[in-house]
Amino acid sequence: MNRPRRDSSGAAGAEVLPFVVLVFVGGTLMLAQATAALDAKIAAVAGAREAARAFVEHRGPRAADAVEAAIGAGSRAMSGYRLSGAASVEPVGATRLRRCERVTFEATRDVPQLTLLGGGWSPVTVGARASEIVDPYRHGLDGRAPCGP
DSSP helix/strand/coil, 44: helix
Q: What pLDDT shows up at residue 25?
A: 85
Q: What pLDDT shows up at residue 118?
A: 57
DSSP string, 31-51: HHHHHHHHHHHHHHHHHHHHH
Q: What pLDDT shows up at residue 66?
A: 92
Residue 67 contacts residue 38 (beta carbons within 8 Å)? no
Measured from the Cβ of residue 20, the count of other Cβ atoms closer than 10 Å reads: 10
Q: What pLDDT shows up at residue 10?
A: 55
Q: What pLDDT shows up at residue 68?
A: 95
Q: What pLDDT shows up at residue 47?
A: 96
Q: pTM here?
A: 0.78
Instruction: List the chain domain ranges.
Output: 20-133
Average pLDDT, the chain: 84
Divide the 149 residues of the chain into consecutive groups of 10 and give the mean pLDDT of each group: 63 76 85 89 96 91 91 94 89 88 94 67 86 84 71
| pLDDT single digits (tens) 2-22 | 766 666 555 566 778 888 888
Q: What pLDDT shows up at residue 126?
A: 94
Q: Phi/psi of residue 38, each to 5°?
A: -65, -40
